[in-house]
């Protein structure tokens, strides 16, 4: 790891001055949490030759009918094998495991052993970063934890080796009070109420496609943090794949891995960032397909070089 100079970074394409404003109380608390995660985050150097793939919100469970990930495990493994073979670093942007419904991580590890075996292969080549989401919180471990011998942080900062450009990656639940400040209450409700409703077929196991979701109110806190700090931000948590255009606040979101037969994520390669979608197509000649969701955008056009 290299030392990080956390000075303000400006974008090449200016954004509207109205996007920089004094936050209200809830927003200020969200910004304070994000600042704390940012200050504690390790730094991962990268350059235009680097390849990174970001997925989040897998919510790996116990492989029973209340485990939304189980229908997508084969698709997920295929996608990660693809990225492993092509030299990508895998960054899981939180909520990889469902520890609100399941009390013990060992239950999840046993249910999805091939996933963790593949994680260790990435880790052996120093190509793995696992981040902590609210559903990953085990006990009261909110800032960092160990999963299967792998260190998990709340955030990571990507720093360009030559231009000094920064990208902050964190789950994003820090801006959502019910998932962060009041996580113990929310976890109890999910574990004791929502899980039972799913067992009784009274609640859906997997949510609808995140592309159809309306923006959540706390997303404004994430974008205002990025605008006020003038820092590019990649999150999960919302289950809503999101990307910025040139001149907009550079907030990006991976989406999620819970819609049956679909994964969404973000790729960085060739100095560009873009949303991708993986689909399971069992009745075609290629049972798994990768699609680009938009034209990738050059990272350097979101802020100025040092």
Question: What mean pLDDT value characterizes the chain?
Answer: 88
Whether the pLDDT of residue 174 is over 50: the answer is yes
Q: Give mean pLDDT, residues 235-249.
A: 95
Note the pLDDT of residue 281: 92
- Delineate the domains of the chain, giving CATH numbers in brackets: 20-302 (3.60.21.10)
DSSP state of 53: E
Note the pLDDT of residue 305: 41
Q: Are 60 and 111 in contact (CB under 8 A)?
A: yes
Q: Which of 124-128, 181-185, 279-283 has the lowest mean pLDDT?
A: 181-185
Whether the pLDDT of residue 16 is over 50: the answer is no
Query: 278 exposed, middle or buried (CB, 10 Å; 0-12, 13-18, 19+)?
Result: buried
Confidence of residue 135 (pLDDT cuts 50, 70, 90): very high
Note the pLDDT of residue 194: 63
Q: Are 152 and 171 in contact (CB under 8 A)?
A: no
Note the pLDDT of residue 12: 41
Q: What percent of the chain has pLDDT over 90?
A: 70
Note the pLDDT of residue 15: 46
For tokens 């290299």, name the residue.
Answer: 2
Q: How far apart are the first and last CA of the chain?
A: 20
Please compute Rg for the chain using Cα positions.
Answer: 18
> Which contiguous run of DSSP H or E holds residue 234?
strand 232-235
Per-residue tokens: 144:
């960092």
Torsions phi, psi of 50, nearest 5? -70, 150
Q: What is the dihedral of CA 66, 179, 116, 79, to 10 degrees?
A: 80
Distances 278 to 49, 258, 299 between C-alpha atoms, Å: 23, 12, 23
- The helix/strand/coil state of 252 is strand
- The helix/strand/coil state of 265 is strand
Whether the pLDDT of residue 267 is over 90: the answer is yes
DSSP state of 141: B
Whether the pLDDT of residue 1 is over 50: the answer is no
Question: Could you tell me which residue, 185 or 250, shows the higher pLDDT?
Answer: 250
Note the pLDDT of residue 209: 67
CA 62: distance to chain centroid?
A: 21
Whether the pLDDT of residue 8 is over 80: the answer is no
Q: Which residues pair with 136 in a beta bridge?
A: none
Confidence of residue 10 (pLDDT cuts 50, 70, 90): very low
Q: What is the pTM of this model?
A: 0.89
Confidence of residue 13 (pLDDT cuts 50, 70, 90): very low
The contacts of residue 29 (CB under 8 Å, 6+ apart) are 177, 181
Q: What percent of the chain has pLDDT over 70?
A: 87
Note the pLDDT of residue 2: 36
DSSP state of 195: H
């Amino acid at each position: 790891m290299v030392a990080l100079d956390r000075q303000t970074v400006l974008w090449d394409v200016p954004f509207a001055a109205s996007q920089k404003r004094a936050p209200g109380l809830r927003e200020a608390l969200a910004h304070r949490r994000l600042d704390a995660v940012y200050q504690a985050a390790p730094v991962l150097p990268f350059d235009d030759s680097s390849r990174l793939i970001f997925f989040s919100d897998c919510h790996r469970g116990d492989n029973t009918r209340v485990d939304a990930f189980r229908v997508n495990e084969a698709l997920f493994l295929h996608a990660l094998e693809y990225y492993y073979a092509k030299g990508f670093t895998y960054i899981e942007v939180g909520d990889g495991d469902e520890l609100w419904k399941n009390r013990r991580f060992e239950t999840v590890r046993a249910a999805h052993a091939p996933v963790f075996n593949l994680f260790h292969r990435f880790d052996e080549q120093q190509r793995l970063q696992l981040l902590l989401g609210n559903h990953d919180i085990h006990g009261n471990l909110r800032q960092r934890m160990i999963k299967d011998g792998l260190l998990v942080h709340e955030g990571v900062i990507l720093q360009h080796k030559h231009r000094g450009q920064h990208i902050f990656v964190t789950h994003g639940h820090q801006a959502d009070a019910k998932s962060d400040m009041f996580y113990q209450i929310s976890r109890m409700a999910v574990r004791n109420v929502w899980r039972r409703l799913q067992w009784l077929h009274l609640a859906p196991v997997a949510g609808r496609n995140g592309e159809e979701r309306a923006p959540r109110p706390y997303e404004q806190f994430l974008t205002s943090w990025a605008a006020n700090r003038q820092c590019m931000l990649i999150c999960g948590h919302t289950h809503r794949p999101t990307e910025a255009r040139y001149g907009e606040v550079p907030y990006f979101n991976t989406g999620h891995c819970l819609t049956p037969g679909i994964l969404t994520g973000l790729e960085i390669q060739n100095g560009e960032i873009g949303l991708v979608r993986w689909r399971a197509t069992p009745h075609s000649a290629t049972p798994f397909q990768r699609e680009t969701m938009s034209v990738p955008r050059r990272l350097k056009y979101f802020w100025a070089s040092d």
